Amino acid sequence: MEQTLVLLKPCTLQRALVGEIINRFEKKGLRLAGMKMMQLTDSILNEHYAHLSGKPFFQILKDSMMSTPVIACCLEGIDAVRVVRSMTGSTNGRNADPGTIRGDYCMSNQQNIVHASDSLETAAIEIKRFFRPEEIFDYESSNRNYLYALDEH
Ligand code: IDP
Ligand code: MG
Protein backbone atom coordinates (compact mmCIF):
# COMPACT_ATOMS: atom_id res chain seq x y z
CA MET A 1 0.00 0.00 0.00
CA GLU A 2 1.22 3.49 -0.79
CA GLN A 3 1.02 6.37 1.65
CA THR A 4 0.78 10.04 0.74
CA LEU A 5 0.67 13.34 2.60
CA VAL A 6 -2.23 15.78 2.46
CA LEU A 7 -2.30 19.14 4.26
CA LEU A 8 -5.63 20.87 4.71
CA LYS A 9 -4.51 24.49 4.36
CA PRO A 10 -5.58 27.41 6.60
CA CYS A 11 -8.14 28.51 3.97
CA THR A 12 -9.88 25.15 4.45
CA LEU A 13 -10.15 25.59 8.22
CA GLN A 14 -11.33 29.20 7.81
CA ARG A 15 -13.98 28.16 5.32
CA ALA A 16 -15.12 25.23 7.51
CA LEU A 17 -14.44 22.71 4.75
CA VAL A 18 -12.31 20.29 6.78
CA GLY A 19 -15.00 17.64 7.18
CA GLU A 20 -16.11 17.92 3.59
CA ILE A 21 -12.61 17.42 2.18
CA ILE A 22 -11.75 14.52 4.48
CA ASN A 23 -15.12 13.01 3.59
CA ARG A 24 -14.15 12.96 -0.09
CA PHE A 25 -10.99 10.99 0.60
CA GLU A 26 -12.81 8.60 2.94
CA LYS A 27 -15.62 8.01 0.46
CA LYS A 28 -13.10 7.26 -2.28
CA GLY A 29 -11.72 4.46 -0.10
CA LEU A 30 -8.48 6.01 1.05
CA ARG A 31 -7.62 5.05 4.60
CA LEU A 32 -6.44 7.52 7.23
CA ALA A 33 -3.12 6.28 8.60
CA GLY A 34 -2.42 9.52 10.48
CA MET A 35 -4.11 12.85 11.16
CA LYS A 36 -3.27 15.83 13.35
CA MET A 37 -3.64 19.59 13.69
CA MET A 38 -0.39 21.49 13.72
CA GLN A 39 0.97 25.03 13.57
CA LEU A 40 3.52 25.28 10.76
CA THR A 41 6.74 27.26 11.18
CA ASP A 42 9.00 29.20 8.87
CA SER A 43 11.62 26.46 9.01
CA ILE A 44 9.30 23.58 8.06
CA LEU A 45 7.85 25.70 5.24
CA ASN A 46 11.31 26.62 3.94
CA GLU A 47 11.89 22.87 3.55
CA HIS A 48 8.45 22.00 2.31
CA TYR A 49 8.31 24.74 -0.31
CA ALA A 50 12.06 24.86 -1.09
CA HIS A 51 11.26 24.44 -4.81
CA LEU A 52 9.45 27.82 -4.68
CA SER A 53 12.02 29.82 -2.68
CA GLY A 54 12.89 32.06 -5.66
CA LYS A 55 9.30 32.94 -6.49
CA PRO A 56 7.88 36.40 -5.77
CA PHE A 57 4.94 34.87 -3.86
CA PHE A 58 7.14 32.73 -1.55
CA GLN A 59 6.74 34.90 1.58
CA ILE A 60 3.00 35.44 1.02
CA LEU A 61 2.60 31.69 0.62
CA LYS A 62 4.49 30.96 3.84
CA ASP A 63 2.61 33.66 5.80
CA SER A 64 -0.67 32.23 4.60
CA MET A 65 0.36 28.68 5.58
CA MET A 66 1.24 29.95 9.10
CA SER A 67 -1.90 32.07 9.55
CA THR A 68 -3.79 29.29 11.37
CA PRO A 69 -2.97 25.66 12.15
CA VAL A 70 -3.31 23.12 9.33
CA ILE A 71 -4.55 19.53 9.40
CA ALA A 72 -1.96 17.01 8.27
CA CYS A 73 -3.24 13.67 6.96
CA CYS A 74 -1.41 10.54 5.89
CA LEU A 75 -3.66 8.68 3.45
CA GLU A 76 -3.13 5.09 2.41
CA GLY A 77 -4.25 2.96 -0.53
CA ILE A 78 -3.10 1.26 -3.71
CA ASP A 79 -1.63 4.01 -5.96
CA ALA A 80 -2.58 6.54 -3.25
CA VAL A 81 -0.11 9.21 -4.42
CA ARG A 82 -1.46 9.36 -7.96
CA VAL A 83 -5.11 8.95 -6.90
CA VAL A 84 -4.92 11.78 -4.35
CA ARG A 85 -3.14 14.10 -6.80
CA SER A 86 -5.81 13.49 -9.42
CA MET A 87 -8.57 14.14 -6.86
CA THR A 88 -6.76 17.38 -5.91
CA GLY A 89 -6.65 18.90 -9.41
CA SER A 90 -4.48 21.63 -10.95
CA THR A 91 -2.73 24.12 -8.69
CA ASN A 92 -4.85 27.10 -9.74
CA GLY A 93 -8.44 26.56 -8.60
CA ARG A 94 -9.67 28.63 -11.52
CA ASN A 95 -8.12 26.15 -13.97
CA ALA A 96 -8.78 22.95 -12.01
CA ASP A 97 -11.36 20.62 -13.51
CA PRO A 98 -14.83 20.53 -11.93
CA GLY A 99 -15.06 17.34 -9.88
CA THR A 100 -11.60 17.85 -8.39
CA ILE A 101 -11.23 19.34 -4.91
CA ARG A 102 -9.60 22.53 -6.14
CA GLY A 103 -12.01 22.71 -9.07
CA ASP A 104 -15.02 22.43 -6.78
CA TYR A 105 -13.97 24.48 -3.74
CA CYS A 106 -11.69 27.36 -4.69
CA MET A 107 -11.05 30.31 -6.96
CA SER A 108 -7.39 30.90 -6.08
CA ASN A 109 -3.95 29.93 -7.34
CA GLN A 110 -2.61 29.95 -3.77
CA GLN A 111 -5.55 29.49 -1.37
CA ASN A 112 -6.19 26.14 -2.96
CA ILE A 113 -7.55 23.98 -0.10
CA VAL A 114 -5.01 21.15 0.02
CA HIS A 115 -1.41 20.20 -0.43
CA ALA A 116 -0.85 16.70 -1.85
CA SER A 117 2.46 14.91 -2.40
CA ASP A 118 3.43 14.78 -6.07
CA SER A 119 5.43 11.52 -6.25
CA LEU A 120 6.15 8.42 -4.21
CA GLU A 121 9.61 9.72 -3.30
CA THR A 122 8.25 13.12 -2.22
CA ALA A 123 5.47 11.44 -0.24
CA ALA A 124 7.97 9.44 1.84
CA ILE A 125 9.97 12.59 2.62
CA GLU A 126 6.87 14.66 3.38
CA ILE A 127 5.27 12.07 5.69
CA LYS A 128 8.51 12.06 7.70
CA ARG A 129 8.53 15.86 7.70
CA PHE A 130 5.08 16.14 9.29
CA PHE A 131 4.68 12.94 11.34
CA ARG A 132 6.72 11.05 13.88
CA PRO A 133 6.79 7.27 13.23
CA GLU A 134 4.47 6.58 16.19
CA GLU A 135 1.86 8.95 14.74
CA ILE A 136 1.35 6.70 11.69
CA PHE A 137 -0.95 3.79 12.45
CA ASP A 138 -1.27 0.38 10.84
CA TYR A 139 -4.60 -0.95 12.09
CA GLU A 140 -7.04 -3.65 10.99
CA SER A 141 -9.63 -2.55 8.40
CA SER A 142 -12.61 -4.88 8.11
CA ASN A 143 -13.65 -3.62 4.67
CA ARG A 144 -10.38 -4.29 2.88
CA ASN A 145 -11.77 -7.25 0.87
CA TYR A 146 -14.60 -5.02 -0.35
CA LEU A 147 -12.46 -2.01 -1.20
CA TYR A 148 -10.09 -4.17 -3.24
CA ALA A 149 -10.25 -7.56 -4.95
CA LEU A 150 -8.27 -10.36 -3.34
CA ASP A 151 -5.60 -10.18 -6.08
CA GLU A 152 -5.16 -6.42 -5.64
CA HIS A 153 -3.80 -6.56 -2.11
P1 IDP B 1 0.91 22.03 -6.05
O2 IDP B 1 0.40 22.43 -4.68
O3 IDP B 1 -0.20 21.89 -7.06
O4 IDP B 1 1.83 20.82 -6.01
P5 IDP B 1 3.30 23.71 -6.34
O6 IDP B 1 3.83 24.23 -7.65
O7 IDP B 1 4.08 22.65 -5.64
O8 IDP B 1 1.78 23.25 -6.61
O9 IDP B 1 3.14 24.97 -5.38
C10 IDP B 1 2.89 24.80 -4.01
C11 IDP B 1 1.86 25.83 -3.58
O12 IDP B 1 2.37 27.14 -3.81
C13 IDP B 1 0.55 25.77 -4.36
O14 IDP B 1 -0.35 24.79 -3.88
C15 IDP B 1 0.03 27.17 -4.15
O16 IDP B 1 -0.57 27.33 -2.86
C17 IDP B 1 1.30 28.00 -4.21
N18 IDP B 1 1.56 28.49 -5.57
C19 IDP B 1 2.11 27.80 -6.60
N20 IDP B 1 2.21 28.56 -7.72
C21 IDP B 1 1.71 29.77 -7.37
C22 IDP B 1 1.53 31.03 -8.09
O23 IDP B 1 1.87 31.15 -9.29
N24 IDP B 1 0.98 32.04 -7.39
C25 IDP B 1 0.61 31.94 -6.07
N26 IDP B 1 0.76 30.80 -5.37
C27 IDP B 1 1.29 29.73 -6.00
MG1 MG C 1 3.71 20.67 -5.11
Supply the residue whose CA is at minimum distance from atom 17 of ligand 1. Answer: 110
pLDDT digits (tens, 9 = 90+) for 93-145: 999 999 999 999 999 999 999 999 999 999 999 999 999 999 999 999 999 99
Residue 21 lies in a domain: yes
Q: Which helix (H) or strand (E) holds 3?
A: strand 2-8
pLDDT digits (tens, 9 = 90+) for 31-60: 999 999 999 999 999 999 999 999 999 999
- Quote the number of domains for the chain: 1
The enclosing domain of 73 has a CATH number of 3.30.70.141
Residue 96 lies in a domain: yes
Q: What is the DSSP letter of 80?
A: H
CA 151 to centroid of ligand 2, rounded, Å: 32
Residue 142 lies in a domain: no
Q: Which amino acid is at 47?
A: E
According to the model, what pLDDT value does residue 68 have? 98
Q: Which atom of ligand 1 is nearest to the CA of 118?
A: 4
Nearest ligand, CA 115: 1
Residue 146 lies in a domain: no
Say yes or no to pLDDT of 85 above 80. yes
pTM over 0.85: yes
CA 145 to centroid of ligand 2, rounded, Å: 32
pLDDT grade, residue 153 (50/70/90)? confident
Q: Which helix (H) or strand (E) holds 127?
A: helix 120-130
12 lines ligand 1 (CB under 6 A): no
Residue 61 lies in a domain: yes
Q: Is 51 a catalytic residue?
A: no
Residue 34: helix, strand or coil by DSSP?
strand
According to the model, what pLDDT value does residue 57 have? 98
User: Are the beta carbons of 91 and 73 closer than 8 angstroms?
Assistant: no
Residue 56 lies in a domain: yes
Q: Which helix (H) or strand (E) holds 28?
A: helix 18-28
57 lines ligand 1 (CB under 6 A): yes
Residue 70 lies in a domain: yes
| Long-range contact set of residues 45-50: C-beta below 8 Å, sequence gap at least 24 | 47/129, 48/115, 48/126, 48/129
Name every residue whose Cβ is closer than 8 Å to that of residue 149 and which is 6 or more positions away in sequence: none
Owning domain of residue 120: 2-137
Supply the residue whose CA is at minimum distance from atom 3 of ligand 1. Answer: 91
Residue 147 lies in a domain: no
Distance CA 54, CA 65 (A): 17
